[in-house]
Copies of this chain bind each other. A is one copy, B any other.
Amino acid sequence: MPKPAIILVQPQMGENIGAAARAMCNFGLEDLKLVNPRDGWPSESATANSAGALDIMPPVEVFEKTADALKNYHTVYATTARPRDMRKKVMSANHAAQDIADKQSQGLKTAILFGGERAGLTNDDIALAHNIISIPVNPDFSSINLGQSVLLVAYELFQTTNDTTPENLPVGDSAPVSHKELNEMIERLETELEDRKFFRNPDMRPSLIRNIRNSLTRANLTEQETRTFQGIISALIGNKIK
């Protein structure tokens, strides 16, 4: 599925353009356009701060006017930090990411506008957009920079199009212990404890065993950890460790 374009309008510092490019690569975006960058293009500081991203992305296109950069797009999103006196749909980054994914899956091309460091997008730029993206932030400390804004929007887009539920994230290599092996360990523990008169009150024995079983089950032991516990039992009862 094609990905949205990121368009930086009148960005000032090359460092921030580099950070934006890096954030885009981190989250699988590659279409970066610049409108009227203050210090020209290409930029050494952008390349240095992109951590290699600008080397692997397609060439960055540079335009004089925002409208020219938007020529081929169907739906445009403008990011703004402060509310503007314009009637447009305002979306959080999270909801915008979902909306963008929907549009892209319908074959519509989308672009996201980010303004320069000093004052953000002009009202004329925002008038070119269909929707506004407002990143929710602490109102008492709301300054986030250009690179961070691109990072958060790119992150939300990546989350929308990649299944990142915990089940799909890697877990450690060790295999979980089978019920049989865990049970053998617990039964052996019970036997050894009985031999050592651990269960002074026979009435309490079932609930004590149940508590031990509960806690060891909750620990989700691996095979290796279970073998380690078997070794611990052997050591504690005075068996030589083989």
Interface magnitude class on chain A: 35 or more
Known contacts: A85-B174, A152-B152. The answer to whether A92 contacts B143 by CB under 8 A is no
Q: Does A138 contact B (CB under 8 A)?
A: yes
Interfacial chain B residues near A166, Cβ < 8 Å = 89-92, 95
A136 contacts B152, CB within 8 Å? no
- Nearest-Cβ distance from residue A174 to partner chain B, whole angstroms: 5
Say how many copies of this protein the assembly contains: 2
In the bound complex, CA of A240 to CA of B239 (Å): 106
Q: Does A172 contact B (CB under 8 A)?
A: yes
Q: Does A42 contact B (CB under 8 A)?
A: no
Binds B, one of A24-32, A105-113, A207-215: A24-32
Q: Counting chain B CB atoms within 10 Å of each CB, which of A92, A134, A176 scores highest?
A: A92
In the bound complex, CA of A88 to CA of B170 (Å): 10
Q: Does A86 contact B (CB under 8 A)?
A: yes
In the bound complex, CA of A82 to CA of B142 (Å): 31
Binds B, one of A70-78, A157-165, A182-190, A196-204: A157-165
Known contacts: A26-B144, A87-B176, A87-B220. The answer to whether A92 contacts B169 by CB under 8 A is yes
- Nearest-Cβ distance from residue A15 to partner chain B, whole angstroms: 12
Interface of A is mostly: loop
Interface residues of A (CB under 8 A from B): 22-23, 25-28, 51-53, 56, 83-92, 94-95, 134, 136-138, 141-144, 148, 151-152, 155, 158-159, 162, 164-166, 169-174, 176, 220-222, 225
In the bound complex, CA of A158 to CA of B142 (Å): 13
Interfacial chain B residues near A222, Cβ < 8 Å = 87
Q: A90-B171, A95-B165 are in contact. List 7 more A-B contacts (CB 8 A).
A: A26-B141, A83-B172, A83-B173, A84-B172, A85-B173, A86-B172, A90-B169
In the bound complex, CA of A164 to CA of B137 (Å): 10
A137 contacts B27, CB within 8 Å? yes
In the bound complex, CA of A116 to CA of B85 (Å): 44
B26 contacts A143, CB within 8 Å? yes
- Nearest-Cβ distance from residue A80 to partner chain B, whole angstroms: 10
